[in-house]
Every structure is written in C-alpha cells, then in structure tokens.
Structure 1
Amino acid sequence: MNARFRQFLSTLAETFWVVPAALVIAGICLAIGLLHIDRSGTLPQALTRSAWIYNGGGAGARTLLGVIASSTIGVAGTVFSITIAALSLAAGQMGPRLLQNFTRDRGVQLTLGAFLGTFSYALMVVRSVRTDEEGVFTPHLALTVGIVLAFACVGTLVYFVAHMASRINVDTVVNLVSEDVRVAVRSLRTEEQQGDVPPASFWTGMSEVPDNRRGYLNHLDQSALADWAAQHGTVIRLLVRQGDYVFPGAPIALTTGSIPEVAAAIRNATALGETRGSAGNAGHAVRQLVEVAVRALSPGINDPHTAMSVLDRLGAALCDIAGHHLPNGVSTRNDAVVLVVPNTGYHGMVNMMFHMIRQNAAGSTAVLIRLLDVLTAAILCESVADRRAILAHHVELVWADAQRNLGNKTDLDDVFARYLIFQRAVQDGALGMINASSGNQRG
C-alpha cells in the first residue's frame, strides 16, 4: 500500500469531523426515507392509531420538531464548549501533543454527531409538515422516530458528561497512551533475527539523493521500496527514520549507481507531515508518555505520582520486548541487502524512555527510587547480555544523579538501597533481590 494513501487513511481516522458529518448525513437520509413511507400510506391503520405513534396535528408536530431542533443544537454547542475546555486542560497539564488523543476520541465524536444528526433530522421533517391551510400532511412515523432520537440524545448527554470526567483524569490518559505503546511495541518485535547491517565502508562512494520536501517522516512503505531497489539492482540507505524531520535540499538517502528514478521511488514510498507521529509508531507513543511524566515533574505541576505511573508503563513495555528481536531496518531480497532504514533499536528505545525523566527527576527521591525499581524489574525479564548492560548503564546514571543532587543522607541511603537490590538482581536474579531487600530491612 502506498505510504501517502496510508497517511491519508490515518489522517482520516483521526480527523474530528468525519463521524459527526457521517451522522448528520445519516440523519438526513433517515428523515427522507421515513417521510417517503409516511407519504406512501403503507403504514397499517392499527399502527397509526397505536398509543406508541404520534397522533397529533400539524401545529403540534411543528412545535415538537422545533423544540427538538432548538434543544439539540443548543446542547451541541454545550458539548463543543466542554470539549474545548477539556482540550485546554489537557494541553496545560499533559502537553499539546496529547490533544489528538481527545480529538480522535470516538465517544466525543459520536456525542456531537448524535445531536447534530438529530438536529438535521428534525429540520428535514419539519419542512414537510402541512396544516389545514396548506394541505394536511403529518408524518406520524417520522415524528415518532424524532421523539425517540430526542430521548436517545438525553442518554447520550449523560454518557458524555461521565465520559469526559474520566478522560481528563491523568491516569486515564496515561493508560490510553501506554496502550498505544504496548500495541506499537508488540507490532515491532519479531521472533527471527534480521540480517546484519552493512559496515560504514560498504557505503563508500555512493551517490546522495537530495529531497526538496520538508516535514516529519510519518509513513514509510519499506517493503515496496525494497522491491523497487531489488528490481533496479541498487542498494538504498535511508538517512532518516520515522519521526525524523526532512530538511529541504538535504540528502534523504544514499544509493549505489546513478538511477534517476530513485528520488521518485523514495518520494512514492514515504509520506511527510507537518507534525511528528503516526499510528503504530512506537517512538512517537513513547515520546508522548515521557512528555506526561516530564510535565508532571515540572515545578508548576509537581506531581511525582504521575511520573511514577508512567515509569511503570515504560517498564512493562520493556518486559514485552524481552525475549524478542527488534527490526534493525535491513531488507533483503534473494539474500542480498537492498534497503537499510535507520531504526531506534533497544538502546535508543531505553534512552528515549528514561533519559528525560531521569534528568527532570534528579532531585526527586521518590521518582529515582521508582526508576531503579522499574529497571530492576526489566532486567529480571531480560536475558540478552547486551540489553542487560544497557539497563545497568541507566542504573549507574540514576545513582550518579542521586549522589550529585540529593543532599539529605537518608534520601541518598534509600536510593542506594535500591541500587544494591538491582546489583543483587543482576547477580542472583529474583532470589538475590529478595535477600538484598531483607538485608536492608534488618539494617
């Protein structure tokens, strides 16, 4: 699938107006269909005389539809105002990049669409009502359905209030973003190891491929680009990864030979956007989660519990990766390398998760302790020596920051106790961690 088409589908799925517009069209089509049934006279007499069907006249019908239309459009404005207030609160406390998690919320979209669709339905029905002077026509079935829609809107409003009250809760936002991280990480991991990345000397003498576009690389059709490279007997080495900014005129790739069509092939396989991030991008989801923690640690908010909650989710993501390979960006065809895309990898992922949080939590004893606990849990899940060395390096960074920034000896001793627990966990696993914890309690 073309990268631009995938970006279009992703953008369409996250656009706020699509669902409300669809419900407005559905309301109009429903009104036209029910009015056709009312005009056809095919409704049985027993049904039209039933107490469940509207039996009033034209004047009453117009009044009822007018009330439904005016009330639904008024409440729709209130829903929109509440949504804007929630967006402002989210932008201030959790970061503006998390706004898309609210705008793509189907609950908000369906609520607004329900009121706008009912409003459109009432307008379409009221224009067909005729009194005695105009030639009597009262759409009984359409009026009855309009009343049902009005009651449905009442239930939707109750749902919306409860839904928004939960969505602006920071724990709910953390859970939603961490679910994005979990899904993205699980989509990355593989059971089989890919081919080795060619050494730097392999790219000597290759031609640069400039790109005059600008924006963030959000989508890449890696398979299609690898197929193209194999068909044309060339090797392509992209210089940017998903989420990186493409600067106009700067090289976007290296390639063997001088094939004029390579620039067009790269443009067709990539899609740029004005903002960073795309669905399924693990790096983007991790950055969103880290931003929540960094903002929580700012002096204006000072909410270390949120930062610790984020750390727990990041540790769970590392445990999801344990025992699995991550793609290294190498694509082969017939056992020959045809495309290399720079990937974040395990080292880059761990740096992305913990560097900014550790730097902003340097003076917070509680957060540093939780960070050490998370790294301890992660290393108990991980068996690969290189990855365990990366986790151990971050533990040393935490301990160094604690020594430099914590002036209270008791706080420093608490951090050191967790540091020793990590060391015992590295040596003896969970049993060593338990023994270290017992020794600290006796001390």
Structure 2
Amino acid sequence: MNGSIHKGLHVARDAFRAQLWPLPIAGVVLAVLAGVLLPHLDAHVDGDLPGWLDALVFSGDPGASRTVLDAVAGSLITVTALTFSLTVVTLQLASSQFSPRLLRNFTQDLFVQVTLALFLATFTYSLTVLRVVRSSGESASAGFVPRLAVTTSFLLALASVVGLVLFLAHLTRQIRVETMLSNVHMDASLTASTNLPNLDAGSPPAPQPPSQPAMVSVASSGFLVRVDQGKLLHLADSIDAVISLYREPGEFLLGGTPLASYWPRGEGSITDPDDVAKLRKGIHDAVSTGPERTAAQDVGYGLRQLTDVVNKALSPGINDPTTAVHALGHTAALLAELMGYQLGATTLTNDNDVPRVILARPTFAEYLDSAITQPRKYGTSDPMVASSLYQLLWGLACNAPSQHHPAIADQLERLQKSVARQAFDNVEQGNFARWHRKVLAALLRQQDGDDGDPTTEVPAPGS
C-alpha cells in the first residue's frame, strides 16, 4: 500500500510540474495577500519600529513611494514579458532542433516556474501596495506611506534582478544538448526506480487464465498515462478475482480494443451482474488516458526521447552525428540500469501473497529494440555512429545477466547485417569486426562467469 501511495504521489508530482502556470498563479495570489496585509501591519507599528530598523526602511514621502512602486511595477512587467519570450524561444528551439518530446521537460523546469512566479509576484505586490499610498490632501484622513510595504517591494525588485541574471545563466545551460540528455536520463532513472521492482524483490508466477476469460475493452482513446495498481489490487481482492491488464503505460489505446480480462481465482465464472459491473467500472477507473506520453509511469518514454534526439541529429537537415553519439551513450547507460529491475509482466499480490493483478510491462528485448532500431536504420552509414552502436551492445553484454543475452545477440546480428550493406573502407570494416568480436567475447565471458580482461577477442562467426 505504501508503494502505491508513493507511486501515486510521483504521478501527481509529474502532472503538477508539467504545468507552467500553477507556481506563477500561486505567486500572484500570495502577492495580493501580502500587498493587503503588510500595509495594515505598517499602520499598526508606525512609529514603534526599533531605531536600527527605522533607519533601514523606506523614509520617503507619498510621492516618492509612488515613484518607487510605479517603477518596480512597470519594470517587472517588462522583464516578465522578456522572460516569457525567452522561454517560448527555448521551447521552439528544443522542438525543432532536438525533439518535440522534450518540451515537457522544459515546461516542468522548476527554476523557470519559480522565476516567473517571482517576477509576477513582485509586479502584483507593487500594484497592490500602490493603491493604499495617500497624500494628506487627497482625503479627509491623514497621509499614509506604508514604509515596510514599500521596502519589501524594493527588496523584491532586487531579488528579481538577481533572478533575471540567474535565469539567463540557467537558460543558456538548459538549451545545451548535454544538459537536456542528462535531464532525460535522470527523469527516466527516477521513473524506473519508482515503478519497477528490483531483481531481488521476487515475483510470484502469474495465474493461468481460463480458455475464455471475460474481456474489458478500452473506454476512450488516448495514451495510457497512469495505472492505479492499488485500486486494481483492492478491486480484485474484494471480488476474489484475478485481473490481467493487457496494456502498458505509454501505449496508445484505441477505443473498443481489448484492455484487460478477469476471471475468478477458483473454479467457475463471475456471473453476478453487480460484480461484473463493479469490475468493469473499477478497471476503467484505474486506468487514465491522456493526449501525450508522460514520464510518471512510462519507463520507455525516456528511451523514446533519447532515440528521438538521435534520429533528429541524423536527419539530413541537421546532420549532427556527434549529438547522436552522445545520446546513444545515455541510452546505453539507461538500458544498463534497466537490467537491474524485473522487466516483463509483473504479478501483484495482496497482503496474504495471493496473486491478484497481472500487469503488462515491456521486456528488456523490447526496450532494447525500441532504443536502437531506428538509430541502426538511420545511422549505420556513419562510421562513428555505427561504432557507438557496437559499443552500446558491448557495454550491455559486459553487464547483462544470461536472460538478456539472446536479445543482445539478436541486435548484434542485425547491426552486423546493416553495416555490411554500407560502403565502408577496409579500415572501417576492420574496426567493426573488432567491435563484433568484443561483443561476442563479453557475452561468452558472462556465460562462463569470467571476469577477465574485457579486451580479449574471439573470432567472429565464419571468420
């Protein structure tokens, strides 16, 4: 149950951070409240401030305070417009130069959101305080200058200046491809650690379904973005049933296609209309769809983003194989991390270790295929990219447990065939042959349990 709560909080956090507006709006609301309350505090403590504090706060007349507040408000709305413009330009650059799938990473950048919140809050606060400044001749009451409130506006303006400098430095760092690749890698690693069980966690065998289990179809089309595992487990436990979910986060669901099946844990079938209705409604409620993939539960989304960067870099319009090589390095590291988790279908049990829910999840072979099939297709004409693909397989072969060897060997054979179709010179072909032997040697050492010299080579098949 605690794991389900943790995963639910991770999903909610991802959904909240992906929106650009919540923190700026919260900043505006807090600024209005502060702009209303601080002048009241000013009126209450007027003349009672300690000497050292009285010497530090604003000491001008109503005209001077209006000038300060007006200058802060006018300059901050201009700076805010500049910040929004720079953010939009960055989003456009990331979309056209690297991948549209990276836009979500920029919109959920906490630094950008906090900076926008600071600028809007300073502007709103200054306008709110400006309305309570009064000269002695403007009304029947005495003149009033909220000294603490005006001083706070001045301090917020200074903080905004510092924030603008830091924002520009942050933005220039964020648009670097190395930073973007690193952020995608970290997000994918967090998603994997949150949603995938460790190898030593153990997983019971999946219950065998009957020949014709009851089926549940997809209610509405869209990307599967979230599966509430706790809700499915409670639902199956309440009816003494087993639920098998066929679809996985990140997959596009077409309305009317199979989504899940269910059957009783014992003999017979579930025929009670109330139980059937409860199961169907509960399964639909536990599955959330959306217009785009998210990193909350979709482990393969990070691989998709990295692969998109590789594909974009290898396109004729950009032709940047160095970026492709950097992205393949992060792909290799992420795939190596995934080998430390249980991949493939997972069985969830209740508190009594009774299998209740079977979740579909990609296997390592599927992750590996989705990560390097397109780079192999588009990049094997470049010797540097082809060598990086061999290096990726070699790195995985050095760390892979035996169950992943067939997937690596299959990708090695497909890469070998792709490279053989290209017009490389003898030096390049010799380099690829050496990499091929290194991958095979690493696989053989892993099978034999040998931790010897990783540079040892074995003959390639047919050589």
Question: Which residue in 2 is equivalent to 1:108?
Answer: 112
The separation in 2 between residues aligned to 1:305 and 1:23, in whole angstroms, is 41
8 A Cα contact 2:343 2:362, kept in partner = no
Kindly state the Cα deviation for residue 163 of structure 1 after the two structures are TM-superposed.
0.6
Pair 1:63-2:67 in alignment: yes
8 A Cα contact 1:186 1:321, kept in partner = no
| Counterpart amino acid of residue 17 in structure 1 | W
Partner of residue 377 from structure 2, selected from 359, 364, 377: 359
In the alignment of these two chains, the number of paired residues is 435
5 Å-filtered alignment, 1:1-12, equals 10-12=14-16
Q: CA 1:179–1:79 in structure 2 vs 1: closer, same or farther (change >3 Å)?
A: same
5 Å-filtered alignment, 1:37-52, equals 37-47=41-51, 50-52=54-56
8 A Cα contact 1:94 1:296, kept in partner = yes
Q: CA 1:48–1:424 in structure 2 vs 1: closer, same or farther (change >3 Å)?
A: closer
Kindly state the Cα deviation for residue 7 of structure 1 after the two structures are TM-superposed.
5.5
Q: CA 1:85–1:131 in structure 2 vs 1: closer, same or farther (change >3 Å)?
A: same
The separation in 1 between residues aligned to 2:47 and 2:18, in whole angstroms, is 42
Question: Which residue in 2 is equivalent to 1:342?
Answer: 360
| Counterpart amino acid of residue 372 in structure 1 | Y
SS of aligned partner of 2:189: helix
8 A Cα contact 1:90 1:96, kept in partner = yes
Question: Which residue in 2 is equivalent to 1:216?
Answer: 223
Partner of residue 300 from structure 2, selected from 257, 272, 283: 283
Structure 2 unaligned residues grouped into runs of 5+:
264-269
The separation in 1 between residues aligned to 2:416 and 2:341, in whole angstroms, is 29
The separation in 1 between residues aligned to 2:239 and 2:54, in whole angstroms, is 74
Pair 1:23-2:23 in alignment: no
Deviations 1:64-91 (A, max 9, x none): 1111000000110000001111110000
Aligned-residue identity in percent: 27
Question: More deviation in 140-149 or 256-265?
Answer: 256-265
SS of aligned partner of 1:90: helix
Partner of residue 253 from structure 1, selected from 252, 256, 260: 260
Partner of residue 269 from structure 1, selected from 286, 293, 298: 286
5 Å-filtered alignment, 1:274-313, equals 274-313=291-330
8 A Cα contact 1:218 1:242, kept in partner = yes
SS of aligned partner of 1:240: coil
8 A Cα contact 1:194 1:327, kept in partner = no
Pair 1:192-2:196 in alignment: no
| Counterpart amino acid of residue 162 in structure 1 | A
Q: CA 1:189–1:225 in structure 2 vs 1: closer, same or farther (change >3 Å)?
A: closer
The separation in 2 between residues aligned to 1:51 and 1:42, in whole angstroms, is 13
Question: Which residue in 1 is equivalent to 2:99?
Answer: 95
Pair 1:326-2:343 in alignment: yes
Pair 1:234-2:252 in alignment: no
Kindly state the Cα deviation for residue 31 of structure 1 after the two structures are TM-superposed.
1.9
Kindly state the Cα deviation for residue 404 of structure 1 after the two structures are TM-superposed.
1.0
Kindly state the Cα deviation for residue 49 of structure 1 after the two structures are TM-superposed.
7.9
Kindly state the Cα deviation for residue 34 of structure 1 after the two structures are TM-superposed.
1.5
Kindly state the Cα deviation for residue 433 of structure 1 after the two structures are TM-superposed.
3.4
Pair 1:146-2:131 in alignment: no
| Counterpart amino acid of residue 74 in structure 2 | S
The separation in 2 between residues aligned to 1:29 and 1:356, in whole angstroms, is 54
Kindly state the Cα deviation for residue 327 of structure 1 after the two structures are TM-superposed.
5.7
Pair 1:403-2:420 in alignment: yes
Kindly state the Cα deviation for residue 425 of structure 1 after the two structures are TM-superposed.
2.4
Structure 1 unaligned residues grouped into runs of 5+:
none
The separation in 2 between residues aligned to 1:267 and 1:139, in whole angstroms, is 56
Deviations 1:285-330 (A, max 9, x none): 2211211111111111111122211222222223324454336222
| Counterpart amino acid of residue 228 in structure 1 | L
The separation in 2 between residues aligned to 1:336 and 1:34, in whole angstroms, is 59
The separation in 1 between residues aligned to 2:362 and 2:304, in whole angstroms, is 13
| Counterpart amino acid of residue 347 in structure 1 | A
Q: CA 1:307–1:49 in structure 2 vs 1: closer, same or farther (change >3 Å)?
A: closer
